[in-house]
Amino acid sequence: MPLNFKPIHCPKCNEKQPQIRKPKGWKEILWGGNTCKNCGCKMDRFGKERK
Ligand SMILES: [Zn+2]
């Protein structure tokens, strides 16, 4: 399973994303990724914006 262990940053506001977080939904469980708590931007585990 490919994983990215490097810290990622929000593509919009550059907020550093926590490595350990609660997934917001099954898509985040499935794909990894984050929802920025600063601006709400969704991104994948590589820090690319997801629409
Ligand atoms: Zn952000």
Measured in Å, residue 32 CA sits from the centre of ligand 1 at 16
25 Cβ contact partners less than 8 Å away, ≥ 6 residues apart: none
Measured in Å, residue 27 CA sits from the centre of ligand 1 at 18
Ion ligand 1: residues, CB within 5 A, are 10, 12-13, 15, 36, 38-39, 41
What's the confidence (pLDDT) of residue 28?
64
State whether residue 40 is helix, strand or coil: coil
Q: pLDDT digits over 4-49, tens only?
A: 567 889 999 999 988 766 667 777 666 677 889 999 999 888 889 9
Measured in Å, residue 13 CA sits from the centre of ligand 1 at 4
38 Cβ contact partners less than 8 Å away, ≥ 6 residues apart: 10, 13, 15
